[in-house]
């Protein structure tokens, strides 16, 4: 299943291939320039009703070596079917493009990373006909970023590192350093990386920590009541109030529906566009007892929406 962590990890690989540096270091190869890395179709579907899709496929053409493919898979937990699917991806891509394939698994906890390293064998008795050994980018192979200067210089690697280490004990310190480092960016750049990281942290506790730290990224003077900070908090408050009003409006209409009281389009529009929480509370109370929908608005001077 495609998740936020999947999407963020592969958006980084596609847009910022410099995060692949640990792989090339391990291979003893120089990191190619972005122009040397080409995004290919990840579709590994055959002409039968069985679809398989690799998360990201990149074609790498080193300046002094042979081209090869990187097949990148984000893996947040152990999955028994990968023992069959991953070898298929490697074999299929090799056959389709005629290039060797390096399978890379991105994992954010050590248990999953140790499992993902394989090897995954296709064996009959003592004979092994195929072995798949993914290259794992996980907490042990992706360094923690501990220098604000690295955040400013290599934001893609710093963001990716935080996602990989999102379940590590030191994640709070990593995120605090990231927030401080991102304050050196212009507003639009800081917003891009801050939001990308928030999505990538997905359902981990670290995401809530980062949501608080994002306020420091947005404002250069957090806690000082600047225009930027007030605008941020005002937007949060308005969003919360609108959500609460929507919930109350739906409650009013639901009560009327359950009681079998007909609601015209005009009344429905008046209720759902009302943002006055006090008035919505009154309507919700009346919805339990009124016999006609018009009685919902008794004592009100006009029929305009609030």
pLDDT single digits (tens) 121-141: 998 888 889 999 999 999 999
Per-residue confidence band for 90, with pLDDT thresholds at 50, 70 and 90: very high
How high is the mean pLDDT of the chain?
81
pLDDT tens digit string along 205-237? 998 898 888 877 765 444 444 444 555 556 556
Count other C-beta atoms under 10 Å from residue 172's C-beta.
Answer: 14
Mean of pLDDT values over 288-296: 85
Phi, psi for residue 185 in degrees, rounded to 5: -80, 160
Mean of pLDDT values over 280-296: 85
Last residue in a domain, options 183, 218, 253? 218
103 and 37 together in one domain: yes
15 and 39 together in one domain: yes
**Residue 114 pLDDT exceeds 90:** yes
Classify residue 11: in a domain, yes or no. Answer: yes
Percent of the chain with pLDDT over 70: 83
Higher pLDDT, 59 or 228: 59
Classify residue 143: in a domain, yes or no. Answer: no
Classify residue 303: in a domain, yes or no. Answer: no
Q: Which residues contact 232 (CB under 8 A, 6 or more apart)?
A: 215, 218, 219
The domain containing residue 210 runs over which residues? 148-218
pLDDT tens digit string along 1-54? 555 555 565 677 777 878 888 888 888 888 877 667 777 777 766 555 445 567
DSSP code, position 53: B
* CB-CB contact of 5 with 163 (8 Å): yes
Classify residue 302: in a domain, yes or no. Answer: no
27 and 44 together in one domain: yes
49 and 170 together in one domain: no
Length of the chain: 306
Query: Strand locations in 156-197, DSSP E?
Result: none
Mean of pLDDT values over 297-303: 67
Q: Report pLDDT for 304.
A: 44
Q: Report pLDDT for 305.
A: 40
Rounded to an integer, what distance in angstroms lies between the CA atom of residue 297 and that of residue 293? Answer: 8
Q: Report pLDDT for 6.
A: 59
70 and 104 together in one domain: yes
């Amino acid at each position: 299943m495609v998740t936020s962590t999947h999407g963020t990890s592969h958006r980084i690989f596609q847009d910022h291939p410099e995060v692949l540096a640990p792989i090339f270091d391990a291979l003893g190869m120089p990191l190619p320039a972005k122009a040397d890395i080409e995004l290919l179709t990840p579709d590994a579907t055959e002409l039968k009703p069985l679809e398989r899709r690799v998360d990201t496929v990149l074609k790498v053409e080193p300046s002094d070596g042979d081209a090869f493919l990187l097949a990148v898979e984000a893996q947040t937990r152990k999955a028994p079917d990968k023992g069959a699917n991953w070898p298929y991806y490697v074999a299929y891509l090799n056959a389709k493009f005629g290039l060797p394939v390096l399978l890379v698994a991105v994992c954010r906890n050590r248990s999953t990373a140790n499992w993902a390293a394989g090897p995954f064998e296709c064996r009959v008795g003592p004979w092994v006909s195929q072995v798949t050994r993914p290259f794992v980018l996980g907490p042990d192979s992706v360094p923690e970023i501990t220098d604000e200067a690295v955040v400013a210089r290599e934001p893609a690697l710093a963001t990716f590192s935080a996602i990989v280490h999102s379940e590590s004990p030191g994640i709070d310190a990593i995120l605090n350093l990231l927030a401080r480092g991102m304050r050196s960016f212009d507003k639009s750049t800081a917003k891009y990386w801050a939001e990308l990281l928030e999505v990538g942290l997905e359902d981990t506790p670290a995401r809530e920590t980062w949501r608080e730290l994002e306020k420091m990224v947005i404002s250069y003077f957090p806690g000082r009541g600047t225009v930027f900070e007030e605008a941020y908090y005002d937007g949060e408050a308005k969003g919360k109030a609108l959500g609460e009003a929507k919930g109350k409006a739906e409650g009013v209409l639901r009560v009327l529906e359950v009681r079998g009281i007909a609601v015209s389009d005009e009344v429905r529009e008046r209720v759902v566009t009302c943002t006055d929480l006090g008035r919505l509370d009154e309507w919700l109370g009346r919805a339990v007892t009124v016999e006609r929908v018009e009685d919902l608005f008794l004592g009100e001077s006009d029929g305009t929406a609030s």
